[in-house]
Structure 1
Amino acid sequence: MLATTQVVEGSIEGLPNRIHEVMDRHVVATPDHPALIDDRTRLTYRELDQAVGGVVEALRGLGIRPGDRMMIVSENSIPLACLLLAASRLDVWSIVVNPRLSPRELDQIREHSGARRVMLTAGVSQEAATHAARYEATVQDVGALRGIGVTGLNLATLPEPVEADGAEQVAVLIYTSGTTGTPKGVMLTHRNLLFSARGTAVWRKMTVDDVQYCVLPISHIVGISLLAMTLMVGATVRLVAKYDPAALVKAMAEEGITILNGVPATYQRLLEYRRNAGLAKLDRGRLRAISVAGAPLDLELKSRVEQELGLPLLNGYGITECSPGISGVRPDTPRDDHTVGSILPGVEARLVGHDGKSVAAGEVGELHVRGPNVMRGYYRAPDLTAKVIDPDGWFNTGDLARFENDAMYIVGRTKEMIIRSGFNVYPAEIEAVLSTHDAVVQCAVVGRPVEGNEEVVAFVQLIKGSTVTAQDLMAHVAPQLTSYKRPSEIILMDALPATSTGKLLKHKLAESLRS
């Protein structure tokens, strides 16, 4: 089966050539409109333009050249946004890194990327300050930015060629570890980011009056996309360093935020806070759109969130290598099921079977996509790039999906599919059943190799204080799953391993079964 949307006429035409250019017309048209707000300060479009200009000059003075790679170790903040936009003006590749990463992880990225310098927002977070001290960085002003840790110059690194075309020039290098633990640098061009950002902004009907609550880290692709799309329409970005449900409740009631994006855990913790704080009802204020991505969405959680906020929770699907948007549920056609929506305009999708051929309508296949959102490749890894992007430009997401008409459903990861007694078992189906139990906060299902077969093992995190046992959960799922899909074992955990955005690290759970 081939499920595609037609490439929208003019979907690339009219895009800026560089990400920093998204704000240019608003600097002229609405110079006094708020552009960025964080916990410390706010900048209008005029002030943002001036701040970025000052940072550009400072970076030049620090020996940063076009084509250099520059690491920015920072939580979401105005200094981070200014450094990112200044790097774009200089044709420098930005590598935004979460300061909550370990020293080993930071060192791996620094070494692999050949970063010219590392900039650390020591004045924003203690974690960044700790890394700055370890790197013996000089804490100084960079333009109007205060408290920036600046490492010594990497004299050995060479700049990459600068491409005039934004479709070729790399804007950001995002490192993902995947299931191997070895970081891969995803090269995303200016066109990649701008195409995806504009598509989402149009879909959400964003206007200058919107205030986007950006709590998903800009060190990940979704955060960068949220920043770009909001500045593109001349709206306001409310930058949030670390997620705090109490702060979100305040922002809804008092700060006029209109759009909220999160992972399932964002909303789970919000509802827990309301209950624990004894609030009768959350005041949603001007909030008009809420969306979720990054992990499978439990329908019971979706229902509770929608009932609480009086808005449809719009599910979506994307991947770093696709900048990230691939599909989403449209605001004007909300859904009450697990679908991640329809393929975004301008993006093509097809489902491929084990034999490399397109699967029949309604069947599960591996999702391949093609479009202006697909990455340029993995940095310094042409072999890895060739494994995921074929000569015709189709990118293999590694995810299993199926279609019902134009609605796509993600079934699981190709590598996560469990083959038990000759039957294909998709973890997402078992996780969905487990999640219908009232005591389950989140869960993850993985395969465990046994002689000549695979077993199904479920890891489950329960609500604090719950007395539910693994046997209770087994009794709950047994009537709802055929025998080969039922877990051989259910393991209860206080917390499941996850990234800073809440995405579960299934490979760590799988590794724990082999140790």
Structure 2
Amino acid sequence: MTVLLNGRPLRRIHNVIDPWVSASPDAPALLDRTASLTYRQLHEAVEGAAQRLGELGVRPGDRVLVVCENCVAVGVLLLALSRLDAWAVVVNARLSPREIDTFAEHSGARRVIYTPDVSLEAGAHARRVGAKEEFWPLTGRLNIGPLNGPAVAEQTHTDPAEQVAVMIYTSGTSGSPKGVMLTHSNLLFISEVARSVRLLSPQDTVYGVLPMAHVVGLSSQLLGALACGSKLFIESRYSAEALADAILKRGATVFVGVPAMFSKLLEWSRANGVDISRHQLRSVGAAGSPLTPELKAQIEAAMQTTLQNSYGLTETSPTICQTLLLSAPRNDCSVGPPVPGVEVRMMGSDGRDVARGEVGELWVRGPNVMKGYYRASDLTAESIQDGWFNTRDLARQGEDGGVFIMGRTRELIIRSGFNVFPVEVEQAINSYPGVVQSAVIGRPAEGNEQVIAYVEPEANVYVDTDDLDRWVRQQLAPYKVPAEIHVIEKLPAAPTGKVLKGNLRELDVLRSAERRATHPGG
């Protein structure tokens, strides 16, 4: 089996650059703040890296952990491992030593490679295990961890729908890690979506700050740009000032970020009096977490362009739905229709499809669905049934086909018998002046659940919780109004900017325990 990308049959993700190596070898492909590669140089770097990896004992079917932050070297390593039919396991260097060790052990990694030039944390991890420094031509300085001699290589497949290209971990800070196995076919399909739906082309400069240790940064951002002959400007870490520099001075034409990035860009531009409408962006998109109508309206007013929305998961490589760039701009916060080739259905608790417009659990089927969870056949069988993957998200589909995400199944709050979708409450809170973002969680309360809100304000802005409470009561039914609103300086977030609600629940448990200790019986 082969996958068609722009009409060309491909079997492996490293093949996405082949047409551009031939057609435009001197065009820029990958660049970061310190390095730059044309498509010809990228091809040479990948070949050289693949040879060196082989010399280091990496075999087809081996897993290689790449502990990194965004840089040119990560792109080279990903394609080089593809040439060897080894699996790239890309993890963020800002994780703790325990998390890194857990992933290395669970994956049975043959080698662990570190990118110290862009990440002090990666260097620290490398020193901890005695990794050796090497300099690879066109790739740069890397630290190479010890060889895991007992590592067992997985079986390889010529079929791109069977051969795993990358493995991405979706958890591991608590409990067993989940290694999502994404095949070459999965990722090549998303590359075709970048061309056909996002309309990327060789004329585009993509600004890539979403971490490549996460699926959007690796799949849609990196491989999507390279498959379309675009230039990808890679940023190791997000800052509003760097984003403004990229879109106002460096000619970026495409940017996808999480909503929190847009909130911080607005805050920065207002504080510094910078007009962010004078950009060259032709496509601006949000992904990774819910987009509120207020933020969408504010960004569109400030940037004078339509903010596109999308939805996906690590297990779906990631894209499931996306609003259409030119043909159907939306004024609401729908994530758009399913991308071509992908099917969705909303199912009720009885296992039957709900009526159009009603909320149900979202299932998806298509060439984007993962091969499964590594070394977790029971969990895979539970999640994928007859080709349909259960996202565990609640959603509804409008008459025009646009999908609206209501929240995670496990995040649903049941208050006095009524369903409360956290995203609805968060949208109301986020519309209050001075609020950057918020997160709503449920707290058990004597056979019931309370709605609890945590709010991150703009820098140097005081948010009066009593006034915010009155604001929310004007917009929501009484049972949806938070029992408590807490203002904290920063919401806990992943490197992508996505709010970590699990961390908030832990914080809330600690706060509740402290309150009971301070006010027993109160």
Q: Deviations over 1:78-108 (max 9, x none)?
A: 1111111100000010011111111111111
| Partner of residue 258 from structure 1, selected from 247, 253, 256 | 253
Q: Kindly provide the amino acid, as one letter, of the partner of residue 206 in structure 1.
A: L
Q: Deviations over 1:256-296 (max 9, x none)?
A: 211011001111121222222232x1264421110001111
Q: Any conservation in 2 of the 1:210–1:236 contact (CA below 8 Å)?
A: yes
Q: Kindly provide the amino acid, as one letter, of the partner of residue 104 in structure 1.
A: R
- The alignment status of 1:232 with 2:218, answered yes or no, reads no
Distance change (3 Å), C-alpha of 1:143 and 1:42: closer
Q: Any conservation in 2 of the 1:117–1:153 contact (CA below 8 Å)?
A: yes
- The alignment status of 1:27 with 2:34, answered yes or no, reads no
Deviation at 1:179, TM superposition (A): 9.2
Equivalenced residues, count: 505
Q: Deviations over 1:153-186 (max 9, x none)?
A: 0011100001100000000000011895532100
Q: 2:76 corresponds to which residue?
A: 82
- The alignment status of 1:399 with 2:389, answered yes or no, reads no
> Which SS does the other structure have where 2:216 is aligned?
helix
Q: 2:59 corresponds to which residue?
A: 65
> Which SS does the other structure have where 1:141 is aligned?
strand
Q: 1:138 corresponds to which residue?
A: 132
The separation in 1 between residues aligned to 2:257 and 2:266, in whole angstroms, is: 13
The separation in 1 between residues aligned to 2:179 and 2:412, in whole angstroms, is: 26
Deviation at 1:74, TM superposition (A): 1.3
> Which SS does the other structure have where 1:343 is aligned?
coil
Q: Any conservation in 1 of the 2:4–2:10 contact (CA below 8 Å)?
A: no
- The alignment status of 1:290 with 2:290, answered yes or no, reads no
Q: Deviations over 1:403-430 (max 9, x none)?
A: 1110110011100111111111111111
Distance change (3 Å), C-alpha of 1:12 and 1:195: farther
The separation in 2 between residues aligned to 1:323 and 1:60, in whole angstroms, is: 27
Distance change (3 Å), C-alpha of 1:450 and 1:433: same
Q: Any conservation in 2 of the 1:39–1:240 contact (CA below 8 Å)?
A: yes
Q: 1:374 corresponds to which residue?
A: 369
Q: Any conservation in 2 of the 1:200–1:325 contact (CA below 8 Å)?
A: no
For structure 1, which segment, 324-333 or 134-143, has the greater mean C-alpha deviation from structure 2 after superposition?
134-143
Q: Any conservation in 2 of the 1:192–1:323 contact (CA below 8 Å)?
A: yes
Q: Deviations over 1:378-424 (max 9, x none)?
A: 0001111112111x111000100001110110011100111111111
| Partner of residue 343 from structure 2, selected from 326, 344, 348 | 348
| Partner of residue 308 from structure 1, selected from 297, 302, 311 | 302
Q: 2:409 corresponds to which residue?
A: 414
| Partner of residue 513 from structure 1, selected from 504, 508, 519 | 508
Distance change (3 Å), C-alpha of 1:251 and 1:308: same
The separation in 2 between residues aligned to 1:180 and 1:421, in whole angstroms, is: 31
Q: Any conservation in 2 of the 1:192–1:373 contact (CA below 8 Å)?
A: yes
Q: Any conservation in 1 of the 2:277–2:302 contact (CA below 8 Å)?
A: no
> Which SS does the other structure have where 1:63 is aligned?
coil
> Which SS does the other structure have where 2:10 is aligned?
coil
Q: 2:330 corresponds to which residue?
A: 335
For structure 1, which segment, 223-232 or 171-180, has the greater mean C-alpha deviation from structure 2 after superposition?
171-180
Q: TM-score, normalised by structure 2?
A: 0.94
Q: 1:466 corresponds to which residue?
A: 461
Q: 2:146 corresponds to which residue?
A: 152
5 Å-filtered alignment, 1:430-441, equals 430-441=425-436
Q: Any conservation in 2 of the 1:55–1:142 contact (CA below 8 Å)?
A: yes
Q: Any conservation in 2 of the 1:11–1:346 contact (CA below 8 Å)?
A: no
For structure 1, which segment, 244-253 or 153-162, has the greater mean C-alpha deviation from structure 2 after superposition?
244-253
The separation in 1 between residues aligned to 2:58 and 2:4, in whole angstroms, is: 35
5 Å-filtered alignment, 1:195-274, equals 195-225=189-219, 226-274=221-269
Q: Kindly provide the amino acid, as one letter, of the partner of residue 31 in structure 2.
A: I
Q: 1:16 corresponds to which residue?
A: 10
5 Å-filtered alignment, 1:40-55, equals 40-55=34-49
The separation in 2 between residues aligned to 1:80 and 1:376, in whole angstroms, is: 23
> Which SS does the other structure have where 1:53 is aligned?
helix
The separation in 2 between residues aligned to 1:491 and 1:361, in whole angstroms, is: 37
Q: Kindly provide the amino acid, as one letter, of the partner of residue 478 in structure 1.
A: R
Q: 1:6 corresponds to which residue?
A: none
The separation in 1 between residues aligned to 2:173 and 2:98, in whole angstroms, is: 17
Which of structures 1 and 2 has the larger relative contact order (alpha carbons within 8 angstroms, sep 6+)?
1
Q: Gaps (5+ residues) in structure 1?
A: 1-8
> Which SS does the other structure have where 2:242 is aligned?
helix
Distance change (3 Å), C-alpha of 1:179 and 1:121: closer
Q: Deviations over 1:299-355 (max 9, x none)?
A: 222112112222100011010000000001111111111111111110000001111
Q: Any conservation in 2 of the 1:51–1:82 contact (CA below 8 Å)?
A: yes
Q: Any conservation in 2 of the 1:95–1:174 contact (CA below 8 Å)?
A: yes
Deviation at 1:75, TM superposition (A): 1.2
> Which SS does the other structure have where 2:407 is aligned?
strand
Q: Any conservation in 1 of the 2:5–2:188 contact (CA below 8 Å)?
A: no
- The alignment status of 1:502 with 2:497, answered yes or no, reads yes
The separation in 1 between residues aligned to 2:154 and 2:7, in whole angstroms, is: 27
Q: TM-score, normalised by structure 1?
A: 0.95
Deviation at 1:12, TM superposition (A): 10
Q: Any conservation in 1 of the 2:205–2:230 contact (CA below 8 Å)?
A: yes
The separation in 2 between residues aligned to 1:23 and 1:313, in whole angstroms, is: 29
